[in-house]
Amino acid sequence: MKTLQVLALAALCSIFTSCHHTTDTTESAKTEKVYNVAVILDGTDRLQNSNAISLISTAELTDLARKIAENGTGSLFVSYVDRDCSNNYFALFEMNQQKPQAPGKKKEYIMQSTYDKEVQEYQMAEIEYQKIVTDALEAFSDNCERVTKAAYSDQTASEKQGSDVFGAVNKALKAIAANESAEFSHIVLVSDCVHNAQTEKLAEIPPSVELIAVNTSEGGSLEGLISKQLITFRQLINYLF
């Protein structure tokens, strides 16, 4: 008899505890995906029309950063190719704040006041989160504008032996290595991938890093290392998300 009383009390405590949550763990818990992306722009040889490479806008880069925030957390590094990439401008978007999870459908055993409080807390958290994202995107967009102007400037395009593709990739590798929470990373070259500068050698590409080319040409100096070739930047966004 005493054993039955103990079991009944334990069951009652279990029910009472569950009433403090409006949703089950399986409903509310979502695994956040961590994105680690580097984009390299290439405006070299643009004046000679020797590489038919798309010119990527600040708006497109900002849209990519926004997609990272909408789908998880992570970072987006943007730089460009010129004759020496060791000290080029760059833009960096980082979003470590997870998107608030909306309360699930109210359970019958939950008090309405308790559920309403959770909804209100979620709404406040969502407003704060959107402000964080907006501020981060605005700062990133400003820096991207500086990067795109330098990448597609006449000065960059007119430099002889001005395509330090290896240096740009090496710099991107250093940038994405800083994001230790990502299991897999992408380096995207909007470039013909032709290296012709007398600079550093290409660093080893780790297995956890995928090289993606957005162009209509062959692999160039990265032949055999490019694992994915796309034609447009929109295809890249669809591929990543």
pLDDT digits (tens, 9 = 90+) for 170-194: 999 999 998 888 888 999 999 999 9
| pLDDT grade for 21, boundaries at 50, 70 and 90 | very low
C-alpha 57/C-alpha 54 separation (Å) is 9
The stretch 222-239 carries a mean pLDDT of 93
Cα 150 to Cα 155: distance, rounded to the nearest angstrom: 8
Asked whether 222 and 189 are in contact (CB, 8 A), the reply is yes
* Class of domain 12-240 (CATH, top level): alpha beta
Determine the pLDDT at residue 31. Answer: 65
d(CA 136, CA 66): 10
Does residue 36 come out as left (phi exceeding 0), alpha (psi in the -120 to 50 range) or beta?
Answer: beta
What is the DSSP track for 16-73?
HHHTT-SS-HHHH--PPEEEEEEEEEE-TTGGGT-S-PPPPPHHHHHHHHHHHHHHEE
Quickly state the pLDDT bin for 217 (edges 50, 70, 90): confident
Q: Are 92 and 76 in contact (CB under 8 A)?
A: yes
What distance in Å separates the CA atoms of residue 231 and residue 221, rounded to the nearest whole number? 18
Model confidence at 203, pLDDT cuts 50, 70, 90, reads very high
Q: Which two tokens stand for residue 60?
A: 């497109």
Quote the CA–CA distance of 49 and 9 in Å, as a whole number: 80
Question: Which own/partner contact pairs does 133-137 have at CB distance under 8 Å and 24+ positions apart?
Answer: 133/66, 133/69, 133/95, 133/97, 136/65, 136/69, 136/93, 136/94, 136/95, 137/62, 137/65, 137/66, 137/69, 137/93
Q: Say if CB 147 and CB 89 are below 8 A apart.
A: yes
Q: What average pLDDT is seen over the chain? A: 84
